[in-house]
Amino acid sequence: MSEAELPQNAKSSGAKPSDTLSMPAVPRHVAIIMDGNGRWAAARGLPRAEGHRRGVEALRRTIRAAGEMGVKVITVFSFSSENWSRPAAEVGELMGLLRRFIRNDLAELHKSGVRVRIIGERAGLEADIGRLLIEAEELTKDNTGLTLVVAFNYGARQEIARAARQAAEAVAQGRLKPEDITVEILGGFLDTADLPDPDLIIRTSGEQRLSNFLLWQSAYSELVFVPTNWPDFDRAALESAIREYQQRERRFGGLTAKTGS
């Protein structure tokens, strides 16, 4: 094809100085719906609990890889408000894994400068779990490396309802006027008040839904669904999801160089 036949925007050859400015950026905040532990186990004739245990190993790999890749915040969905409806033995197993994860990994995370944050409902959790969550946040609160947000006993609708309740209480006490309730004010009552919205949300296992995860914060997140079951997720899978993210054009309702001309 001669240059004359090329589409207008493909004619210039060589990098323009401005190309460096549009280099694909690593997402600042990656959120992950770690799904498919049960199916991973079933495919191998193993108990579901084994899938959850291997899922913790995938979590360790992914936290390390994300930090090394320059991601600033990683949020992982570890137990949903709706997961209480699973058989008691499985719920017990998942609670045990959280306990073990904090007991075994907290010191190492702290040493690598990770700041741990927990989002979700604390009320109603077993007392020792509540204490472990506080310990993890307290120990690491001044760290300046990767922020690891664990969504535990988390449901986005419940989070929004809690925020609305707090706003209503502030109005009832005369600290807030109804007309002053804006997106920013209500967002400030969410568990994620001090965190940026996720740029990229990855869900493993092939399911294509949010399952009550970060419904408010995901308004403009890019969604990437991967067929891999969570226990098989690794650095290469994270890199591949990030490459897909980098090919997306984020518009936030406006126009970009491409759509505006």
Residue 78 contacts ligand IPE per CB under 6 A: yes
Q: Which member of 36, 67, 120, 198 binds ligand IPE (CB under 6 A)?
A: 36
| Sheet with strand 73-80: strands edge to edge | 115-119, 147-154, 73-80, 29-33, 200-203, 222-225
Three-state DSSP string of 194-210:
CCCCCCEEEECCCCCCC
Q: Which two tokens stand for residue 220?
A: 């403009």
Site string for ligand IPE, 87-126 (x = CB under 6 A): -------x--------------------------------
x/- binding map, residues 125-154, to Mg ion, per CB under 5 A? ------------------------------
x/- letters, 19..48, toward Mg ion (CB under 5 A): ----------------x-------------
**DSSP state, residue 213:** S
As given in the structure block, the two tokens for residue 105 are 């990994």
Inter-residue contact 72 to 28 (CB < 8 Å): yes
Answer yes or no whether residue 231 interacts with Mg ion by CB under 5 A: no
Taking the C-alpha atoms of residue 48 and residue 46, their distance in angstroms, rounded to an integer, is: 6
* Closest among 28, 104, 26, 91 to 59, alpha carbons compared: 104
Name which of 127, 125, 131, 128 is nearest 152 in CA terms: 125
Identify the residue whose tokens are 């108990």. Answer: 47
Among 66, 75, 79, 214, binds ligand IPE (CB under 6 A): 79
Measured CA to CA, the distance from residue 54 to residue 74 in angstroms comes to 19
Q: Which is nearer to ligand IPE, 87 or 260 (CB)?
A: 87
- Contact between 198 and ligand IPE by CB under 6 A: the answer reads no
Closest approach, Cβ 12 to ligand IPE, in A, equals 46
CB of 153 to ligand IPE, least distance (A): 10
Of all residues in the shown chain, the one whose CB is closest to ligand IPE is: 38
Q: Toward Mg ion, which CB reaches closer, 147 or 204? A: 204
Sign of the CA dihedral running 120, 121, 126, 129: positive
Identify whether 35 is a catalytic site residue: yes
Residue 159 engages Mg ion in binding (rule: CB under 5 A): no
Summarize as ranges the residues that interact with ligand IPE (CB under 6 A): 33-39, 77-80, 83, 94, 205, 207, 209, 211, 230
